[in-house]
Amino acid sequence: MQTFPEYIKDIPNIAGQEDIIEKTLADAQGKPVFLHDSGIDFSRVKSACAVALHMHQPLIPAGGHDLRTAEIISNLQYMMNNPGIGDNHNASVFEWCYKRMGEFIPQLMGEGKQPRIMLEYSGTLLHGLRKMGANNVLDALKTITTDHNCRRGVEWLGCPWGHAVAPSTPVQDFRLHVKAWQHHFAGLFGLEALSRVRGFSPSEMALPNHPDIAYAFVKTLKDCGYQWVLVQEHSIENPENGWSPERKHLPHRLVCTNSEGETTEIIAVIKTQGSDTKLVAQMQPYFEAKSLSRWDLAGQSVPPLVTQIADGENGGVMMNEFPPKFIEVVREAAHSETPLMNVTEYLEYLFNMGITEQDLPVAQPVKQKQIWDHFKPGEGSEKLNKVIEEIKQSDHQFHMDGGSWTNDISWVQGYDNVLGPMEKASSLFNEKVLSQNMPTDEYRYLNALFHLMSSQTSCYRYWGQGLWTDYGREICRRAQDVVHYDY
């Protein structure tokens, strides 16, 4: 395959080669990634577990003392430069956390074991690592991504480039995030590596539940070549009764219909049991899986898959307890009846048995049953919005903010001072850049897109009002200035 640049001048490669990306992914459709050299005897697997690590650092205007002129740098670099503030002394440990799978996988493969891990790194983290000179981290990741002996143990998950939260990010911008990450990943690890990325991990596990936004979300993923998406168990429901899905350790079909009556769907793999990093740090999914046996699906006996994701670096348990526990479990699980498996690997074995997507149970975004009880798809967005408002009046727990692994935190309420500038930056970008059909490989397009996506990082709304909202507003201001100046 042809080479793919990692940077265009000083901007990471986040747009401009859409045709190459689309062809790469189209050529990969239907071709197995793991099946031929997995080495797992699926016929004797009683149950399995899949573990994913989410890695992210935002970009912040902190490379100087004046907020309005400070260089945009990685928060990790800021931590390195200011070790006396808060928990910044952990910066070097964080950096090792981003690298250590590049050490564990080759070691365990060399022992004849069967390590498995799914990795999700935001674009802002990958750019920040390169910019701060952490080349050893990226080199270690490249080895386990491209080396034939290691890559069967590693599955990369796609994500929004700037760690944007889908329910509160304009749908056209969210699509730009998804495509930008694919560009950046191909620039780092190659087009062949990108062709093997089949799963998608939404930031904060946030799944839109507004019918039109949920439909656009799934359509974006399908259009960008993704086969499956990771969802939080509390963000989906059974369409028939609105209850939580019963057999959470089987893949589902996430079916989304919009107000115009259009329907699209994607395979959903359910992440269970909240967001506690202790679950992954102590490899709880493996021990839960050991207690399970094969289930019936479409008349066939299949092993359930217990799936979890957690921050790969945050907190003492992930920093200190995860490494020895992961290595211990990999050694115990190898060649056993309860192996570690990555999701695409599991799906390939499942479909190789003759199971089809249509055999999977159906799910839809949470709270949609209440809508469909009062609204018929095809009646249009105006009627839909009226029905939503009527339900809100009668049910104060009803909302269209989506579902995530942080349901105690709203990504909308109380953040008007950040969302306002974000919406203005987005509006300007769409008015002055997208609507003008500007070539996406031009530097001024890339620069504007870089600032827009950086401004939509969820961190500016996660930590509450204060310095982080100041960071968010400042990057929004710069995004607006870039568009005004260059366009």
* pLDDT one-digit tens code per residue, 457-480: 887 765 555 788 888 889 999 999
Cβ atoms of 292 and 301 within 8 Å: the answer is no
Residue 413, in any domain of the structure: yes
Per residue in 141-151, pLDDT (tens digit) is: 999 999 999 99
In 3D, which of 59, 80, 51 has the Cα closest to residue 157? 51
The dihedral sign for the CA sequence 367, 372, 378, 380: negative
Q: Which residues constitute the domain of residue 349?
A: 7-364
Residue 389: pLDDT over 80: yes
- The CA distance from 12 to 80, in Å, is 22
Within this chain, do residues 410 and 298 fall inside the same structural domain, yes or no? Answer: no
Cβ–Cβ under 8 Å, residues 74 and 57:
yes
Closest CA to 353 of 290, 298, 307: 298
Looking at the fold, whether 353 and 465 belong to one and the same domain comes out as: no
Task: State what percent of residues in the chain have pLDDT above 70.
Answer: 94
Do residues 348 and 460 both lie within one domain? no
Residues 277 and 130 in one domain: yes
Split at pLDDT 50, 70, 90, the class of 120 is: very high
Question: Does residue 357 sit in the same domain as residue 384?
Answer: no
What tens digit of pLDDT does each residue of 265-324 get?
999 999 987 667 889 999 999 999 999 999 999 999 999 999 999 999 988 899 999 999
CA 280 to centroid of chain Cα atoms = 17
Domain end, chosen from 297, 331, 364, is at: 364
Do 356 and 376 fall into the same domain? no
pLDDT at 405 over 60: no
Do 143 and 244 reside in the same domain of the chain? yes
Q: Look at residue 59 in the predicted model and tell me its pLDDT.
A: 96
User: Do 351 and 449 fall within a single domain?
Assistant: no
- The bridge status of strand 154-158 relative to strand 117-121 is parallel
- Is pLDDT of 407 > 50? no
356 in any annotated domain: yes
Determine, yes or no, domain membership for 101.
yes
By mean pLDDT, which of 46-50, 92-96, 323-327, 461-465 is the weakest?
461-465
Average pLDDT on 111-118 reads: 98
How sure is the predictor about 20, in pLDDT bands with cuts at 50, 70 and 90? very high
Same domain assignment for residues 181 and 67: yes
In a domain, 289, yes or no: yes
Distance separating alpha carbons of residues 425 and 123, to the nearest angstrom? 20
Judgement on whether residues 182 and 125 belong to the same structural domain of the protein: yes
When pLDDT is averaged across residues 100-124 and rounded to a whole number, the result is 98
Confidence band of 414 (pLDDT split at 50, 70, 90)? very low
Mean pLDDT, residues 59-83 taken together = 95
How far apart are the C-alpha atoms of 451 and 431, rounded to whole Å?
Answer: 16
In a domain, 354, yes or no: yes
| Residue 2 maps to a domain | no
User: Is 50 exceeded by the pLDDT of residue 245?
Assistant: yes
pLDDT band at 403 (very low <50, low <70, confident <90, very high): low
Mean pLDDT of 198-204: 96
Domain check: are 106 and 168 in the same one?
yes
Mean pLDDT estimate for the chain: 92
Task: Give the end of a domain, one of 324, 340, 364.
Answer: 364
Number of domains in the chain: 2
Same domain, yes or no: 228 and 336:
yes
Look up the CATH number of the domain holding residue 53. 3.20.110.20
Q: When comparing pLDDT for 95 and 463, which is higher? A: 95
The answer to whether the predicted template modeling score (pTM) of the entire model surpasses 0.85 is yes
Q: Please tell me the distance from the alpha carbon of residue 411 to that of residue 123, in angstroms, as a whole number.
A: 20
Q: What is the pLDDT of residue 483?
A: 87
Q: Is the pLDDT of residue 487 over 80?
A: no
Within a domain: 1: no
Q: Which residues contact 402 (CB under 8 A, 6 or more apart)?
A: 165, 166, 167, 168, 206, 207, 208, 209, 210, 213, 235, 365, 411
- Out of 339, 364, 389, pick the residue that ends a domain: 364
Better-predicted residue by pLDDT, 76 or 413: 76
What is the pLDDT at residue 413? 46
- In a domain, residue 87? The reply is yes
